[in-house]
C-alpha cells in the first residue's frame, strides 16, 4: 500500500497518533485494508501526512500490540486477520457478513458459453508478440474515437463477404460490447423514441434501451419474427430485430417479411431498424441468409454485430454500421468519446482477420458446433418428456417444450439442487410482461456450445428424472 489518505485534524483534543490508530484499526475491521495487505512504512506515512515519524510509530505500536497489524523483519507492517479478535466469532460474523459465494454448477446449459478447445492460441500469441515487439509510439496514443481504421477496414471486408453488408469503414463504430454501442446509438437518434421488440426478447438490449428513456413496445414472438403489419397498428419509430436468428426463440425471418419491414421503415422519415446479427455465423440448415442491411436502399438499417460468439466474449469487441445519413449525427453527438477498446487489442484483432486466422477458425467452429448440435438434437429426440424442439436452425441453443405436467421453472429449480443449471424460456420475457402464448411456461432453453456429449447426457438424464418424478 503506497499511501493512506488519513484525515487528520490538529484542532481536535484527540492526539494525532490516536487519529491514525483509529483510522487504520477501523479500515482493517471493515475489510477496506485486507488481511495481508502491506501498510506504508513509518517514514513514508509521516512524510505523506506531514507529521513526525514518532507520531506514526506510536500508532503502529498500539495496532501491533492489539493484533491489528503484524511486523515482518526487514519487510514492514501487514494487516492481520482479525476475524473474531474482540467481537467473538458470532458477533464478528454479524458485523462483517461474508460475501455470498457465486452459484457453482457441475453442468451449465448456457446459451452464452463458447467452446475454446480449438482456439488458435499460438496464432493469437504470435500476432500479439509481433505488435508489442515494435517500438511503435502510436500504440501509446489515444487512437481514433470510432475505432482503429485498419480494424474497421477488416470488418468491412469480412461483413461484405460473409453477410452481404454494404458499407464503408467510415460507417463502422467499434465499441466494448453491444450494450455500449446501443448507449451511443440512443444519443445519435435522440431521446424519447418508441422501440418495438419481440417477446420473449433479448433482455440486455431491452434493458439498455429502456434505461435510455426509450418506450418499449413488445409483440408476441411469432414463428417468423416481428411483422410489418403488427407495427402499422402502433406508433413505433424503431424496430429491434434479429432476422437471421432471433434470440431466444431461434426464428429466422423469411425474405418476404424482411422486405415488408424495410418498406415500413422507408415509408416515414425517422423510422429505423436495428439489426442485431445474433449468432449469424452458425447456421445448420439451408443456405446462408444475407443481412437485412444488404437489402436496405434507404439508409434505415443500423447493423450491430460482435465477436463475442465467433471468437470470445472476453475480447469485448462489437461493431455498429451506421447508415450514411447518421454519420454526421454520430460525429456531433458522440465523436468526442474515446474508444472503449484498447488500441493494441484492436490491432491484434485486425491482423487476426486480415491474415485469414479468423475465417479458418470460424469454419472449424462451425463444424464443431454442428456436430454438437446434431448430437444434442439426437439425444433429445429419444426422450419421452420432449414434446417439441425448435430453434434448431442456427446458434448454440435449442428450445425444448415439455410434454409433462410440470412447468419449466419448477424443472429449473429442481435441477439447481442437483448442481445443473438449465434455463426457462420465461426468464427471457420483458420485465413485467406475462407469457403471451401457452407453450412459453412449458419450454426450456438449453445451450450446448460449451458442453461435451457426456455432459449433455447427464443433464438430459437429470431433467428426465425430474419430470418423471424419479429424482
pLDDT for 89: 42
Q: Which residues pair with 216 in a beta bridge?
A: 195
Choose among 166, 177, 171: nearest CA to 204: 177
Q: How far is CA 360 from CA 117, 129, 287, 324, in A?
A: 15, 21, 19, 32
Distance CA 155, CA 170 (A): 11
Q: How many CB atoms are closer than 10 A to CB 98?
A: 7
Q: Which residues pair with 239 in a beta bridge?
A: 196, 273
Instruction: Tell me the pLDDT tens digit for each residue of 325-345.
Output: 999 999 999 999 999 999 999
| Cβ neighbourhood burial of 100 (10 Å; 0-12, 13-18, 19+) | exposed
**Three cell numbers, residue 120:** 488458435
**Three cell numbers, residue 292:** 437485412
With a cut of 50, list the residues of the chain below it in pLDDT: 86-96, 98-100
pLDDT for 167: 95
Distance CA 9, CA 66 (A): 24
Instruction: Tell me the pLDDT tens digit for each residue of 172-207.
Output: 999 999 999 999 999 999 999 999 999 999 999 999
pLDDT for 107: 95
Question: What is the reported pTM?
Answer: 0.81
pLDDT for 307: 94
Give yes or no for a contact between 276 and 204, defined as CB atoms under 8 angstroms apart: no
Distance CA 336, CA 325 (A): 19
How far, in whole angstroms, is CA 67 from its chain's centroid? 43
Choose among 212, 446, 204, 214: nearest CA to 304: 204
Distance CA 345, CA 354 (A): 14
Q: What are phi and psi of 398, to 5 degrees?
A: -125, 150
Q: How many CB atoms are closer than 10 A to CB 215?
A: 13
All domains in the chain, ordered by first residue: 16-95 (1.10.10.10), 107-115+360-467 (3.90.1150.10), 137-355 (3.40.640.10)
Please provide the DSSP assignment of 274-315 as one string: EEE-TTTT-B-SSSPPPPSGGG-SSS-EEEEEESTTTT-GGG
pLDDT for 1: 52
pLDDT for 87: 45
Q: Which residues pair with 421 in a beta bridge?
A: 108
pLDDT for 393: 78
pLDDT for 2: 61
Is the bond preceding 299 in cis, omega lying within 30 degrees of 0?
no
The residue length of the chain stands at 471
Give yes or no for a contact between 458 and 105, defined as CB atoms under 8 angstroms apart: no
Amino acid at each position: 500500500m503506497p499511501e493512506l489518505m488519513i484525515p487528520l485534524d490538529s484542532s481536535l483534543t484527540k492526539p494525532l497518533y490516536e487519529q491514525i490508530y483509529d483510522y487504520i484499526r477501523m479500515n482493517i475491521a471493515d475489510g477496506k485494508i485486507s488481511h495481508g495487505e502491506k501498510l506504508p512504512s513509518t517514514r513514508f506515512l509521516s512524510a505523506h501526512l506531514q507529521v513526525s515519524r514518532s507520531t506514526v510509530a506510536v500508532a503502529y505500536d498500539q495496532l501491533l500490540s492489539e493484533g491489528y497489524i503484524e511486523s515482518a523483519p526487514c519487510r514492514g507492517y501487514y494487516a492481520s486477520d482479525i476475524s473474531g479478535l474482540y467481537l467473538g466469532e458470532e458477533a464478528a460474523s454479524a458485523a462483517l457478513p461474508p460475501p455470498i459465494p457465486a452459484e457453482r454448477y457441475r453442468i451449465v446449459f448456457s446459451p452464452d458459453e463458447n467452446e475454446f478447445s480449438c482456439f488458435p492460441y499460438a496464432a493469437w500469441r504470435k500476432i500479439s508478440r509481433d505488435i508489442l515487439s515494435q517500438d511503435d509510439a502510436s500504440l501509446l496514443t489515444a487512437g481514433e474515437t470510432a475505432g482503429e481504421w485498419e480494424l474497421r477496414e477488416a470488418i468491412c471486408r469480412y461483413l461484405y463477404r460473409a453477410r452481404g453488408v454494404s458499407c464503408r469503414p467510415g460507417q463502422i463504430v467499434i465499441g466494448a460490447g453491444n450494450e455500449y454501442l446501443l448507449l451511443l446509438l440512443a444519443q445519435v437518434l435522440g431521446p424519447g423514441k418508441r422501440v418495438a421488440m419481440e417477446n420473449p426478447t433479448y433482455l440486455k438490449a431491452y434493458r439498455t434501451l429502456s434505461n435510455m428513456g426509450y418506450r418499449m413496445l413488445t409483440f408476441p414472438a411469432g414463428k417468423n419474427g416481428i411483422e410489418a403489419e403488427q407495427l402499422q397498428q402502433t406508433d413505433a419509430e424503431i424496430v429491434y430485430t434479429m432476422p437471421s436468428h432471433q434470440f431466444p426463440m431461434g426464428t429466422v425471418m423469411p425474405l418476404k417479411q424482411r422486405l415488408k419491414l424495410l418498406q415500413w421503415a422507408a415509408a416515414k422519415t425517422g423510422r429505423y431498424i436495428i439489426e442485431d446479427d445474433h449468432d449469424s455465423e452458425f447456421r445448420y440448415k439451408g443456405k446462408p441468409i444475407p443481412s437485412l442491411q444488404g437489402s436496405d436502399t434507404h439508409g434505415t438499417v443500423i447493423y450491430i454485430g460482435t465477436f463475442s460468439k465467433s471468437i470470445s466474449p472476453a475480447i469485448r469487441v462489437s461493431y455498429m454500421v451506421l447508415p450514411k445519413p447518421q454519420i454526421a449525427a454520430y460525429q456531433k453527438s458522440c465523436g468526442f468519446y474515446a474508444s472503449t477498446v484498447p488500441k493494441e487489442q484492436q490491432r491484434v484483432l485486425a491482423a487476426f482477420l486480415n491474415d485469414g486466422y479468423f475465417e479458418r477458425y470460424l469454419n472449424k467452429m462451425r463444424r464443431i458446433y454442428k456436430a454438437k448440435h446434431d448430437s444434442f438434437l439426437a439425444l433429445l429426440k429419444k426422450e419421452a418428456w420432449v414434446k417439441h424442439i425448435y430453434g434448431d436452425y442456427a446458434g448454440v441453443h435449442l428450445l425444448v417444450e415439455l410434454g409433462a405436467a410440470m412447468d419449466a421453472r419448477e424443472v429449473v429449480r429442481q435441477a439447481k439442487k442437483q448442481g445443473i443449471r438449465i434455463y426457462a424460456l420465461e426468464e427471457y420475457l420483458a420485465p413485467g410482461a406475462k407469457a403471451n402464448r401457452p407453450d412459453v411456461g412449458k419450454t426450456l432453453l438449453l445451450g450446448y456450445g460449451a458442453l461435451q456429449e457426456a455432459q449433455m447426457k447427464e443433464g438430459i438424464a437429470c431433467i428426465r428424472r425430474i419430470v418423471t418424478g424419479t429424482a
